[in-house]
Amino acid sequence: MADLDCTDRTLLRMLQQDGTLALAELAEAVNLTTTPCWKRLKRLEESGILRQRVALLDPVKLGLSFTAFVQIKTSNHSKEWYHSFVETVSDFPEVMEFYRMAGEYDYMMKVQVADMAAFDLFYKKLVNSIEGLTNVTSTFAMEPLKYTTALPV
């Protein structure tokens, strides 16, 4: 892990729980004044450890409660195809996460949509946008049991 001391780790844990905490609250929690605390946060941002601060939305309350995991196999592994594929999939707002995998499938994505009909539209758009897919398999989440964005620092 990066050169993080106990204070850095505490700040990161706190920000992962609530990115809106005021500098004064953070500083007090780690027994620093605001200037050294701000300098630590700035260093964490500049190093790329603290990438961004975002708001987490509730997909159910937004009508996006249908979660699908899509696994893809392809016969084309050229550099050109790969870049085109990644660019195409990255443009789909329904794709929340997207990975190149080791194992039976080449790629996996997490898709968040309203319902099965919306997923069907997504699926058709996906398979008609990309040549060279040999197998597209989808599984659907019935109930989220754990979800976190907090890394174990």
Q: Tell whether the model's pLDDT for residue 8 goes beyond 80.
A: yes
- Tell me: domain 59-141, CATH 3.30.70.920, correct? yes
pTM here is: 0.89
d(CA 62, CA 57): 8
Q: Tell whether the model's pLDDT for residue 81 goes beyond 80.
A: yes
**Per-domain residue ranges for the chain?**
6-47, 59-141
Q: Tell whether the model's pLDDT for residue 1 goes beyond 90.
A: no
Could you tell me what percent of the chain has a pLDDT over 90? 98
| 46-74 average pLDDT score | 96
DSSP string for residues in 5-62:
-HHHHHHHHHHHH-TT--HHHHHHHTT--HHHHHHHHHHHHHTTSS----PPP-TTTT
Q: Tell whether the model's pLDDT for residue 101 goes beyond 80.
A: yes
Write the pLDDT tens digit of every residue in 15-55: 999 999 999 999 999 999 999 999 999 999 999 999 999 99
CATH class, domain 6-47, is mainly alpha
Residues 6+ apart with CB under 8 A from 35: none
Is residue 7 within 8 A of residue 32, CB to CB? The reply is: yes
Could you tell me what percent of the chain has a pLDDT over 70? 99
